[in-house]
Amino acid sequence: MDGRRQRAAGRPDDETRRLRPPQNPQNPPPTRQAQTPPPPTRRQQVPPSPGQQLPQPSQNP
């Protein structure tokens, strides 16, 4: 019992630390970043591009 509890606590710690960092930032981030960052990044890059390019040439000349 003691050996199993210590081994489970020691092994999960190593596996949790190695699986948690790669699986945590790679699993949740992609789902939230793919649903939040992609929309704002593409929307901000589309309107600002034509919006800034139109007023810039208009004010320049």
Question: Is 0.75 topped by the overall pTM?
Answer: no
Backbone phi, psi, residue 53, to 5°: -75, -30
Instruction: Give the HSE-up count for residue 11: Cα atoms under 13 Å, Cβ half-sphere.
Output: 6
The pLDDT-based confidence of 8 (bands split at 50, 70, 90) is: low
Backbone phi, psi, residue 4, to 5°: -70, -40
The mean pLDDT of the chain is 52
Q: What is the pLDDT of residue 33?
A: 47
